[in-house]
Structure 1
Amino acid sequence: LRFDLAVNNLTAWAFTTGKVYLKSAGTSWRPFVHIEDMSRAFKAVLEAPREKVHNEAFNVGRTSENYRIRDVAEIVAEVVPNSYVEFAPGAEPDTRNYMVNCDKLATTVPAFQPQWTVRRGVEELYAAYQQVGLKLEDFEGPRYRRISQIKELIATGRLDETFRWQVPVLA
């Protein structure tokens, strides 16, 4: 599980603190897709007629699953009981916007139909966090944040600067 992904992070904040904590103004757009839908899309493309998918690129998901981050935060607040949206002091707009059209995959490989929405994903995460008793310190540390984890592995000498594992020499 990664906590540097928006839905995972916002749901974790809501679950552990009651706050859906936004570090930006939440106005930027992002596409969202569940890993299960990604996996099913790979399978569907592999099973599709080669002439339809060879050398093609596809955006996976639903075009309708592009959201402003603040809208995702509102969904989280609706799903996680007793939580509310809070903006960090000085929260600024993130000027990066990514909206993705996923229609090509739906028309090229009609056997693939996404099953997940952001709301359903938040519901799944909330149930999982309840089951494991997630704590704030669990997800704010480097273990579940890819960049932080890599930096820590380099700092402790377990990875080198080219991202190769360093195996300790046994005496």
Structure 2
Amino acid sequence: MAANEVVLVTGAGGYIGSVLVPKLLGKGYKVKAIDRFFFGSGKLFPHVGLEIIREDTRYLKPDHFKDVDYVVDLVAISNDPSGALFEDATWQINHASRVKTAELAKEAGAKRYILPSSCSIYGFQNEVVDETSPTNPLTVYAKANEKAEHDVLKLACKNYIVTVMRQATIFGYSPRMRFDLAINGMTYGAYNNKKLPLMRDGSQYRPMLHVQDTTDIMCLLLSASPNQVNGEVFNAGSEENTYNLGVLGQKIAKTVSKYLGEEVPIEWYGDPDNRSYRASFDKIEKTLGWRAKWSAEEGCQEILEKLGSGELEKTTETITLDWYQEMVKWHKIIKNTEMYGGILDI
């Protein structure tokens, strides 16, 4: 029974975590939500089953894992630009801290550990790749994910179920919104500028996965038969949500055009993106009986409605790298200005 089981979620206040935590609580789990809360703790609402712990995962201790049954290790420096700028932190958090979390959870008697990784570890591929295909990580973010996968899977045993999810590119609305993800960014640009921004040259392929769908998978993995998921890697996404980005751009532009009542053209930018891959999702569909519920157009429409109602807006906080850089800037300013424990009030 989920009512007496505890799920520890790292990165709980992030884009995926702020969707997953309420879903787990709704299913009767108790949740230990661990995060630095770079983007604020207000994304998680008080609940009798929720314990919020403000901590950096690089400094977790055995006590954090007391009475924990399951771990969903979402914490990450979460995109390629941030990984490139904060390379050391990306290796520390995306690799070392997640391996340490998996080890501490196992030592404390947790039953399961789930690592949400990324399909980006496939890099550039000419063929459709499955979970047994060679990987080709092109960025620090992808390389750190791959190393974390390798090291946590070694911990799997009869009494400790370890599962890796290689997620497609996530999209859709979240309380901790991100507009630096492909579909989300396209939607906002088309809505706000009446032009859809699309990175050249549009021929690259990318699988997409709605944030509600990926959190559904995480919930399924908590209760799936150990024989099906222990020591396994699953590509998380769907064939129907695998898009040539030029075609995807046209779909989003059409959806926004219909919403606005005016034509929205595509505006190309940047150098050609060499990350292109198509993945097979047969394993997750056959093993777990999971199917994607959300399409790109539905995710786009969801965001448009939030923007139109004023519930959602684009701020520095919704662009991950911009927000990290802003915090670093103000940290330096405050350190250089603070005296006697304050700025003006001391």
What range describes the TM-score normalised by the shorter chain of this pair?
A: 0.7 to 0.9
Shift of 1:133: 7.2
Provide the residue aligned with 1:73 in structure 2.
249
1:59 matched to 2:232? The reply is no
Q: How does 1:124-135 map to 2 (within 5 A)?
A: 124-132=302-310
Q: Alpha-carbon deviations, 1:95-140, whole Å to 9, x = none?
A: 1113222111111111x22101111111111111111176xxx53x
Alignment partners' CA distance in 1, 2:232 and 2:217: 13
| Equivalence for 1:149 | 323
Contact 1:21 1:86 in 2 (8 A): yes
In the alignment, what sits opposite 1:15?
191
Q: Take 1:133 and 1:38, find their aligned partners in 2: how far apart are those partners?
A: 23
Aligned equivalent of 1:85: 266
Does the CA contact (< 8 Å) of 1:27 and 1:94 recur in 2? no
Amino acid at match of 2:267: E
In 1, Cα distance between the equivalents of 2:237 and 2:222? Answer: 17
| Structure 1: distance between partners of 2:282 and 2:297 | 21
Question: Pick from 11, 28, 35: which aligns with 2:211?
Answer: 35
Point out the structure with max Rg over C-alpha.
Answer: 2
Q: CA deviation at 1:24?
A: 2.3
Q: Is the 8 A contact 1:27 1:70 kept in 2?
A: yes
Higher relative contact order (CA 8 A, sep 6+): 1
1:102 corresponds to which residue? 281
1:119 partner SS: helix
Residue 26 of structure 1 deviates from its aligned partner by 1.9
Aligned partners of 2:303 and 2:323: how far apart in 1? 22
Consecutive unaligned residues of structure 2, counting only runs of 5 or more, are 1-176, 333-339
CA 1:63–1:23 in 2, change beyond 3 Å: closer, same or farther? closer
Pick the structure with more strand per residue: 2
CA-based RMSD of the aligned residues comes to 2.0
Whether 1:44 aligns to 2:220 is: yes
Give the residue type in structure 2 aligned to 1:65: N
Amino acid at match of 2:265: Y
Deviation >3 Å, runs of 4+: 168-171
Contact 2:206 2:242 survives alignment (8 Å) = yes
Match of 1:121 in 2: 299
Q: Is the 8 A contact 1:61 1:114 kept in 2?
A: yes
Task: Output the CA distance in 2 between the equivalents of 1:85 and 1:133.
Answer: 26
Distance in 2 separating the partners of 1:97 and 1:120: 23
Q: TM-score, normalised by structure 1?
A: 0.82
One-letter amino acid matched to 1:106: E
**1:37 Cα offset (Å):** 0.2
Q: Which residue in 2 is equivalent to 1:162?
A: none
What number of residue pairs does the alignment pair up?
155
Deviations 1:131-155 (A, max 9, x none): 1176xxx53x532111121111112
Q: Report the alpha carbon displacement of residue 18 of structure 1 after superposing the two structures with TM.
A: 0.9
Name the amino acid aligned to 2:309. Answer: Q
Q: List per-residue Cα deviations over 1:64-92 (Å, max 9, x = no partner).
A: 3111222111011111122121223xx43
